[in-house]
Amino acid sequence: MQSLSRGISFNSRFNIQDSLYSEEVEKWKTLFIKSIEPISDFPLLMSGGVDSAAILSVLLHLNKQPKLYTFTLGTELSNDAKVSLDIAKTFNLDIELITIPKDSKTLISDINKLLSIFNKVSKTAIQCGHFLLYLAPVIKKDGYDKILGGTGGVVEDDRKVHVCLHTKGEDAAREYRKGGMTLRNNLHQGGVKGMHDVAENFEIELLEPYKNKELSEYALSLDMKVINYPVQKGIAVRAFPEFWNNGNWYRTNSPLQINGGIRDWHHTLIDSNLNTGNWKSCIGVYNKMYKDIITPNLESFFT
């Protein structure tokens, strides 16, 4: 049988409607719909992952037909783009697939633009915000000033959460999740802040249903075994089986910049002539590029 992480029609393995629904799922579903309903007339950034697909499942539940925006790097479609296109085709939705040119000249130019927007070096912000350099202008041209995104997600569910869960238990994992949510919601740092900063540079507001206070607090109150049953972020699948049973779209969590190929593309800087310090990570090259940007400004300030 095909691996769940690679996509499977859930009813071929689970009876969602009969055995997997619960009071927790019902309440989470109600709050999730409530968080999206007031902003349901805007388009959606579609990554192909569970978080953005779950938002789409609510929009369809509300009888909306949102425009979708996604991207691919170079001429070869990523798995994310393939899933997004298949979902759009299944539900007869308009989708804009934007291609980011994959060449070294474009990469260097784009990173310089991102560094100028952020005015500092943040690896996750640079890599997570990169695709919006291309999507945000198109969204703006289409007449939108807001777009829905799956940032934050169904649950704070990174590797550290699971290490904490298995070594210290649910309460410790919950405290870690709470800390992650606070950082994310206050936009202090990281990939989500990078996405917001790039979007705002093009006068686009990124709307995040998962930041809804009532929804996020309820999700935080649930144990990981409830949220991730029977699979990672399974609560979103159990809430809308009528969506997920339409195709083999489910996959386990993986960062957008990794699935979209952006991280590996940025890592090619390590083998470029910009790596004057023989750095082992592309962040060394980012630091050099940022220094090259600010040095002329500093010189002009003191002259």
- Asked if residue 49 belongs to a domain, the reply is yes
The total of structural domains in the chain comes to 1
236 secondary structure, DSSP code: H
- Asked if residue 298 belongs to a domain, the reply is no
Mean pLDDT of 141-169: 82
| Averaged pLDDT score across all residues of the chain | 87
Q: What is the pTM of this model?
A: 0.88
- Asked if residue 229 belongs to a domain, the reply is yes
First to last CA, the chain: 69
pLDDT digits (tens, 9 = 90+) for 25-49: 999 999 999 999 999 999 999 998 9
- Asked if residue 301 belongs to a domain, the reply is no
pLDDT digits (tens, 9 = 90+) for 213-223: 999 899 989 98
> Which residues are CB-contacts of 130 (< 8 A; sequence separation ≥ 6)?
100, 110, 111, 114, 198, 257, 262, 266
Q: What pLDDT score does 280 carry?
A: 96
Q: Are 227 and 233 in contact (CB under 8 A)?
A: yes
- Asked if residue 260 belongs to a domain, the reply is no
Give the whole-angstrom CA distance, residue 107 versus residue 113.
10
The CATH number of the domain holding residue 62 is: 3.40.50.620
- Asked if residue 263 belongs to a domain, the reply is no
- Asked if residue 109 belongs to a domain, the reply is yes
In which order are the strands placed within the sheet that holds 146-148? 95-100, 68-73, 44-45, 146-148, 205-207
- Asked if residue 273 belongs to a domain, the reply is no
pLDDT digits (tens, 9 = 90+) for 179-195: 766 666 665 568 899 99
Mean pLDDT of 263-281: 97
Q: What pLDDT score does 12 carry?
A: 43
Most confident of 31-40, 72-81, 188-197, 240-249: 31-40
User: Which structural domain, as residue segments, surrounds residue 94?
Assistant: 7-254
Please say if the pLDDT value at position 252 is more than 50: yes
